[in-house]
């Protein structure tokens, strides 16, 4: 498409998106905004960006429906369970026990997860409350998950997540509350009903309202949302949150997301893990003109025995936005059938000889792998850069760098390092697995499928690729192809020892995976 967006029309789009969603499109994101506009133009068969702008600004039923599609492209859907260990430790040990004690007489507790994406955060809160309140059935508990993205909310209602959503989850929590379904995890029926999902546009929709669930909240969690908003939108939403909270209710944001001028109406509470904002009694407009008082707090009660991992040695000042890609070997069944590859086929054979790594570098590489295992990614990156500077053509180092970049949230860099690794070893499946995971996380299902098909070409008996490809087809509603992939995986699994663990699929055993596939076919 040769049509371009003029600077003046581009600014009109930026203003319209801010007005409609609160999202600030910065100069460095103009390119991706343009890509999203042209994607929707192509889907709607519109001939010019101006025609698409006219549709969005018309505020007709067709316009409202199109905003739903466009919002899916401009909002960030990345999330995982128990995201930010420090803040969840604060909730577990201090804030939720305080709210439980405060509401012990009425046995009513109301929590909202704003910008909940695909539901991991409100479900994490539900699991915490299930652990903290033994007699939970006697409580009138409300946990709301709200988001502007209807597609994300539909995902949350299904409560079905892939392995990458479990970065911060201990094995016993995962075993207690989730069922492994062939590489995806289904939240159990004990927790799912505790969370209600509602579509809410934080900037446009009025709240609180008496006839709405979004009112009288004890706790509102809104993390990694304000970083995308204009300053004006932040002010509007913070005021709405103030009115939605009960007196002395808490607002939790991501680290350093809110400036002091936004929260003057709140009492700042300083904890070692995070800052929280407590609603003061009074009128927002009057309180917001007063200075915000601060007070340091220590945990009011001893830690409760809910397994949440220890904090990392170094913690960034802003909330992480990464998805964990664990280091895992590619499963190779008993007898992998070799493929004959045409040496002239571009991209399938390496023209680079792998450089040797001396004993010192080998020791350093093992140290890097241990740092990755313990999630000390920044330190691991520093050491890995030393190796790559001396041995730039070493496959193992290049692939580790790809995994590091993925864990740090640098997905484009991760994909580039995957391509470097593929250039060094054209027959390795691991880089393609990582590419598939990244593309799926980014919603690029076609690219994810291409990577998985490449794995199957390289390793015809690679069971994880068949399962993952089948899951993607199922998400797209292509049940016939999904079933074919499941059948192929089942045939491979039946040749493997029953106790074999499939690491790419959450270490599910061959025996359990066979059972799941047979039940679904």
- The domain spanning residue 134 has which CATH number? 3.40.50.150
CA-to-CA separations, 173 to 184, 216, 308, in angstroms, rounded: 15, 30, 9
pTM of the model: 0.63
* 351 assigned to some structural domain: no
Interval 119-143 mean pLDDT:
95
Mean pLDDT for the chain overall:
81
126 in the same domain as 20: no
* 277 and 407 housed in the same domain: no
Among the residue ranges 40-49, 370-379, 400-409, the one predicted with the least confidence is 370-379
In this prediction, residue 366 has a pLDDT band, given cuts at 50, 70 and 90, of confident
Looking at the fold, whether 249 and 287 belong to one and the same domain comes out as yes
Compute the Cα dihedral for 272, 274, 277, 278 and give only its sign.
negative
504 and 449 within one domain: yes
Q: Are residue 463 and residue 372 in the same domain, yes or no?
A: yes
Whether residue 236 is found in the same domain as residue 374 = no
Q: Are 29 and 108 in a shared domain?
A: no
Q: Does residue 352 fall inside a structural domain? A: no
Among 188-202, 281-295, 399-413, whose mean pLDDT is lowest? 281-295
112 and 213 in a single domain? The answer is yes
**50 against 405, higher pLDDT:** 50
Residue 182 has pLDDT above 80, yes or no: no
Average pLDDT over residues 12-16: 96
Shared domain check, 368 and 495: yes
* Domain match, 500 and 372 both: yes
- For the chain, the domain total comes to 3
Question: Which whole-number Å values give the CA distances from 13 to 7, 37, 201, 228, in the listed order?
Answer: 10, 9, 18, 16
165 is a domain residue: yes
Residue 9 CB contacts under 8 Å (≥ 6 apart), including other chains: 49, 50, 53
Q: Are residues 38 and 105 in the same domain?
A: no
Domain region containing 156? 85-296
Q: Are residues 204 and 107 in the same domain?
A: yes
Contact 493, 471 (CB under 8 A): no
Place of tokens 């000042």: 317
Is 60 a member of any domain?
Answer: yes
Euclidean distance between CA atoms 66 and 143, whole angstroms:
29
More confident residue, 400 or 56: 56
Instruction: Tell the residue number behind the tokens 């904002």, with chain if given.
Output: 277
| Residue whose C-alpha is closest to residue 331's, from 499, 457, 184, 501 | 501
Chain centroid to Cα 307, Å, comes to: 21
Token pair, residue 23, equals 């999202």
Q: How does pLDDT run across 268-316, given as a tens digit for each residue?
A: 888 888 889 999 888 887 787 665 444 444 334 433 444 433 333 333 2
Question: Does the residue 311 lie in any domain?
Answer: no
Average pLDDT of the segment spanning 198-212: 91
pLDDT at residue 180 in the model: 86
Give the integer Cα–Cα distance in Å for 163 and 368. Answer: 23
- Supply the pLDDT for residue 205: 93
Residue 341 lies in a domain: no
CB-based contacts of 42: which residues, under 8 Å, 6+ apart?
Answer: 1
């Amino acid at each position: 498409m040769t049509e371009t967006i003029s600077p003046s029309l581009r600014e009109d789009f930026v203003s319209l998106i801010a007005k409609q969603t609160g999202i600030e499109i910065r100069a460095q994101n103009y390119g991706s905004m343009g890509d999203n506009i042209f994607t929707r133009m192509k889907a709607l068969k519109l001939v010019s960006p101006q025609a698409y702008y006219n549709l969005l600004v018309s505020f007709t039923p067709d316009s409202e429906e199109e905003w739903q599609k466009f919002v899916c492209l401009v909002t960030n859907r990345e999330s995982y369970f128990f995201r930010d260990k420090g803040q969840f430790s604060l909730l577990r040990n201090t804030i939720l026990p305080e709210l439980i004690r405060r509401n012990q007489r009425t046995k009513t507790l109301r929590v909202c997860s704003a910008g909940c994406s695909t539901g991991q955060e409100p479900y994490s809160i539900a699991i915490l409350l299930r652990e903290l309140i033994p007699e939970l059935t006697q409580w009138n508990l409300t946990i709301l998950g709200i988001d502007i993205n209807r597609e994300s909310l539909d995902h949350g209602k299904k409560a079905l997540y892939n392995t990458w959503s479990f970065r911060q989850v201990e094995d016993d929590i995962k075993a207690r509350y989730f069922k492994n379904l062939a590489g995806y995890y289904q939240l159990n029926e004990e927790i799912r009903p505790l969370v209600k999902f509602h579509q809410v546009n934080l900037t446009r929709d009025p709240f609180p309202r008496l006839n709405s669930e979004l009112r009288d909240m004890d706790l509102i969690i809104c993390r990694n949302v304000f970083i995308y908003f204009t300053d004006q939108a932040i002010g509007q939403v913070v005021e709405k949150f103030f009115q939605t909270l009960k007196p002395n209710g808490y607002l939790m944001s991501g680290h350093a997301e809110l400036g002091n001028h936004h929260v003057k109406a709140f009492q700042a509470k300083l904890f070692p893990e995070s800052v929280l904002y407590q609603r003061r009694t009074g009128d927002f407009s009057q309180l917001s003109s007063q200075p915000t008082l601060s007070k340091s707090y220590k945990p009011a009660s001893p830690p409760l025995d809910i397994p949440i991992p220890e904090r990392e040695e170094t913690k960034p000042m802003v909330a992480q936005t990464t998805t964990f890609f664990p280091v895992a070997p590619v499963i190779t069944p008993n007898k992998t059938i070799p493929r004959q590859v045409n040496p002239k086929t571009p991209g399938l054979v390496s023209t680079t000889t792998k450089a040797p790594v001396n004993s010192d570098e080998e020791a350093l590489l093992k140290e890097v792998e241990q740092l990755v295992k313990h999630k000390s990614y920044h330190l691991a990156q520093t050491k890995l850069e030393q190796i790559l500077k001396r041995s730039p053509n070493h496959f193992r180092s290049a692939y580790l760098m790809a995994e590091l970049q993925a864990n740090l949230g640098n997905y484009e860099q991760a994909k580039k390092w995957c391509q470097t690794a593929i250039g060094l070893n054209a027959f390795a499946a691991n880089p393609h697995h990582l590419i598939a995971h990244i593309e799926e996380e980014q919603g690029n299902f076609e690219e994810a499928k291409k990577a998985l098909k490449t794995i199957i070409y390289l390793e015809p008996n690679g069971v994880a690729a068949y399962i993952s490809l089948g899951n993607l087809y199922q998400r797209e509603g292509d049940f016939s192809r999904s079933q074919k992939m499941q059948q192929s995986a089942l045939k491979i699994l039946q040749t493997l020892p029953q106790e074999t663990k499939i690491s790419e699929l959450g270490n599910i055993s061959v025996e359990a995976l066979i059972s799941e596939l047979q039940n679904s076919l």
